[in-house]
Structure 1
Amino acid sequence: MRAYRELLRLPGAWWLICGALPGRIAFSMCSLSIFFRVDHVTDSLSAAGIAVGAFGLTSSLTAGWRGRLVDRYGQTRPLMIFVPAYAISMVVLGIFSHDAYTSTVLAALAGLACPPFNMSIRPLWQQLAGPERSRAAYALDSALMNAAQLAGPALATFIALQISTTTALLVNGLCMGLGGSILLSSPLSRKWVPEPRRSGEPGLFKSPAIRFLALEGAAMGVAMGMISIAIPASTKLAGQQWITGWLFSASALGAVLAGMAVGARVKNYPPVRGLVVTQSIFAGLCLLLPFTHPGWPLLLLMFASGLTNGPAHVFYMETIDAVRPRGTAVSAMAALWTIEGSVGAGASGLTGTIIQMSSPSFALMICAVFCLVSPVMMYVGSRGVLRAAAAPPGRTITELAPEAPTSEAITQAVTP
């Protein structure tokens, strides 16, 4: 854990931690808060799924644009606009959503207001820690993200079921306002300068590696979008709705523990190889989801899935950094989130209908099939367009190749 102690002593580290946590709690609450609110006012799983999908679709479709704003203008101006807009949109959604149509429209508008929060924090950690501490920094940031995902779903479920669905959305907006205000006051964020682009550097989607990652992200988007609706639906139909938030929190707890362990102890493992291993295990666990009872067995399975997700997030950040074009520190991640989130939002919207026509187990079977795509693609990519990520952080693949023998060495070797 020495690597983390060194990180926490760096000036500005606690600004990032204190700003990241409440803002990410807001993000981790939003899907369940919207789901419970719309289900409450419409008594329809299909309408709730469509509203969650509308939020995710508009949020993800505009993520790339918000990322480009940050890469062009810095962090302060975009955050000053989007943070209060998001907080207000949650208040409006909580007060004025009374039917399926209004709820869907307001959820879509709230998605448009999502601030470029996570994508702004990542380059700040990279700048603060430097390449020699990048894996530990990404692991710590991943742990913070998963800690928020640990608290957010449980908080959203408790508030929505024990107090009111409106209050859950109001708390969501309050958390984003608090986190955004702290991040905006951070000297690191205010002084952050966008990375300059090299002359002749190809555009983001002209990069074969980014296109490849976008395709992989689309498959994972389907899987994650379906899980976000199928799990709450299965607990409701089984009469175990109280455990919904705890299921997602168990996954987040596993991700925190495993992600921190990887950041502290795994220093020289190539990121793309790490993705192949972690995503293969995750796919195997997802194959069990349709056959697992939505109670304590599912809680343990979600915890086990989190043990793969934490390291996978760290390896994924490093893979993007290794293959992205220069000058796209924020927009590369934003563009990939646009693809994954848009497809995931569409999958969320369809999942409610699939469940009404069949069952949550059938939806989870479809999800498991899409989970198998990721490790296969990462393995293929590691031998091609993602080869730059086949070296440990801070090193290039050419540094790992054996040095070619000189003509003098060859002569000496063959001379008796």
Structure 2
Amino acid sequence: MATFRELARTPGVARIIAAQLTARFPSGMISLGVLIHVEHMTHSYGAAGTVLAAMSIGQAIAGPITSRWMGRWGMRPVLSALTLLYAAAITVIALTPLPVPVLVALGLLAGLSTPPVQSAVRTIYPKLVNSRQLGALYSLDASLQELIWVAAPVLVTFLALQVSSVLALLVVAAVALAGGAWFILSPEVGRVRIPRSRSSFGKVLRKPTVLLTTGLGVLFIGSTAAVEAGIVATFGEGGVESGLVLAAYALGSLTGGLGSGGIPMSPWSVARRLGIVVLGSALTLVMVANPFWLALALFIAGLGFAPALAVMLAGTSASVKFSETAEAYGWINTGQLIGAALGSMAAGFAIDGGGPVGAYLVSIAMIAGAAIIAAVFHRGFPDLRHRDASPIPDTEQLPIIT
């Protein structure tokens, strides 16, 4: 914890973390908010799911593209334009009764214009702290993001079901504007300039760590989406047990992330930490209908979640040039979005075929696959026990007068 106290005293760290969490808070609200609102408008979960699918496709496509734009036109212009467009699309969905095809188009637009705050802040981190603190900062980032996935769904569900789904989406848009403005106007965003990448689009995926982390993200986040579907299927959409069990998962991740901040990161760290997630996930099969047991099992699984993500983020930073970091994190985010969609889909079919236990089996299979891949290809991760996680400096040829 001394490492985190030191981070908190570093100028700008607390401010930029709070600002980026606020700017990213709508990402935890938007799915449920749109689902409930469109279902209320159309009386069709199929239509609502189609709008959500369009939004997810837009986010997956845009992630690496808009992240790369920040190196061309600057973080503030790109983030400002996308934040305004995103908020406008959500506001139109909230206030205007429209046919389903138009809602799908607006959902796609909202996905395409989702501001790449996550890529931006993880690009800023190496310029914000000294190299010795960087690994701990990635651990703190991976841990605190759990607050979004605990508080945001509760808030948007309460607003949409107890007050109005229109108000819920307007709150999403308002938080996006307010949080985005706070982050964009933060001095740290203005001080960091991402060099324009000289490599072609997508070339960063040739880096083993980026490709490995992107692929692991598909399985890693897919496993989480599957277990969430299983929990909802076990206790019902309105069951208070679902929220408590998922909160235990997030609390375990927060605890693990904060507790692992000072542990050196080796090439085997991802596999070892994913092994903890596998263990906790496997324990869910012991008593799948007992909320207290599931909470304990997923708390154990969570202990490895944020620590594993922190190693992947730090390893990515250490493996690419500074000009490539934003695009690299954009690809990683795209992999995670694809994983969430695949995990939810596979879990849905498994629940239809064999009940909630099918979703838990899907989750275990995906996270075990991730752990095996991380072990087999552990050399794809850099050894950060004796070096820092700073990006590779950008260099260029200089003319010499002779």
TM over 0.5: yes
Superposition deviation, residue 139 in structure 1? 2.4
CA RMSD of superposed structures (Å)? 3.1
Question: Counterpart of 1:278?
Answer: 273
Identical positions, percent: 23
Within 5 A, what are the aligned runs for 1:31-70? Answer: 31-41=31-41, 48-70=48-70
Look up the match of 1:403: none
CA contact (8 A) 1:51 1:349 kept: no
TM-score normalised over the length of structure 1: 0.82
Distance 1:365 1:98, change over 3 A: farther
**Alpha-carbon separation, structure 2, partners of 1:245 and 1:41:** 26
Aligned counterpart for 1:319 among listed residues 309, 315, 318 = 315
Which of 346, 362, 365 is the aligned partner of 1:366?
Answer: 362
1:201 deviates by 12
Q: In the aligned structure 2, how far is the partner of 1:318 from the partner of 1:135?
A: 6
Change (3 A) 1:208 1:139: closer
* Native 8 Å contact 2:131 2:389 kept in 1: no
Matched with 1:406 is none
Aligned-partner SS, 1:394: coil
User: CA separation of 1:91/1:198 partners in 2, compared to 1, >3 Å: closer, same or farther?
Assistant: closer
Measured at CA, do residues 299 and 124 of structure 1 come closer, stay the same or move farther in structure 2, by a change above 3 Å? same
Structure 1 residues 150 and 28: alpha-carbon distance in aligned structure 2, compared to 1, 3 A threshold: same
- Specify every segment of 5 or more residues in structure 2 that has no aligned partner in the other structure, as ranges: 391-402
Rg larger for: 1
Corresponding residue of 1:146? 146
Q: 1:250 to 1:221 in 2, by over 3 A?
A: closer
Query: Structure 1: which 5+ residue stretches go unaligned?
Result: 397-416
Equivalence map 1:216-231=2 (5 Å): 216-231=216-231
C-alpha spacing 1:48/1:286, structure 2 compared with 1 (3 Å):
farther
Structure 1 residue 127, shift from structure 2 partner: 1.0
Equivalence map 1:142-221=2 (5 Å):
142-195=142-195, 203-221=203-221
Q: Contact 2:25 / 2:175 at 8 angstroms: preserved in 1?
A: yes
Distance 2:33 2:202 in 1: 40
Is 1:45–1:352's contact at 8 Å kept on the other side of the alignment?
no
User: What's the counterpart of residue 93 of structure 1?
Assistant: 93
Which secondary structure does the structure 2 equivalent of 1:278 belong to?
Answer: helix
Cα deviation digits, residues 43-77 of structure 1 (max 9, x gap): 66555544433322221221010111113322101
When normalised by structure 2's length, the TM-score is 0.84
Superposed displacement of residue 254, structure 1? 2.2
Query: Which residue of 305, 313, 320 corresponds with 1:309?
Result: 305
Whether the aligned pair in 2 keeps the contact of 1:50 and 1:352 (CA below 8 Å) is no
Q: Residues of 1 paired with 2:97 and 2:339: CA distance?
A: 25
Query: What is the distance in 2 between the residues matched to 1:53 and 1:42?
Result: 16
Which of 371, 383, 388 in structure 2 is aligned with 1:389? 383
| 1:280 and 1:375 in contact (8 A); partners too | yes
Q: Does 1:341 align with 2:345?
A: no
Alignment of 1:332 onto 2:345:
no
**Cα deviation code 1:197-217 (max 9, x no counterpart):** 689999212323333333323
Decide whether aligned partners of structure 1 residues 198 and 50 sit closer, same or farther in structure 2, where only a CA change above 3 A counts: closer
Matches within 5 A, 1:77-88: 77-88=77-88
| TM-aligned CA deviation for residue 128 of structure 1 | 0.9
Number of matched pairs? 389
CA–CA separation in structure 2 for the residues paired with 1:228 and 1:36 = 18
- Of 228, 248, 251, the match for 1:250: 248
Kindly provide the amino acid, as one letter, of the partner of residue 132 in structure 1: R
Partner AA of 1:5 in structure 2: R
1:121 corresponds to: 121
Tell me by how many angstroms 1:379 deviates: 1.0
Other-structure match for 2:396 = none
Q: CA separation in 1, counterparts of 2:66 and 2:145?
A: 20
Closer, same or farther in 2 for the Cα pair 1:97/1:60, shift >3 Å? farther
Change (3 A) 1:373 1:346: closer
Alpha-carbon distance in structure 1 between the residues aligned to 2:73 and 2:356: 44
One-letter identity of the residue aligned with 2:315: T
Letter of the 2:305 partner, please give it: N
| Structure 2 Cα separation of the partners of residues 44 and 288 of structure 1 | 36
Hey, what's the Cα distance between the residues in 2 that align with 1:179 and 1:73? 21
- Alpha-carbon shift at residue 246 of structure 1 (Å): 4.1
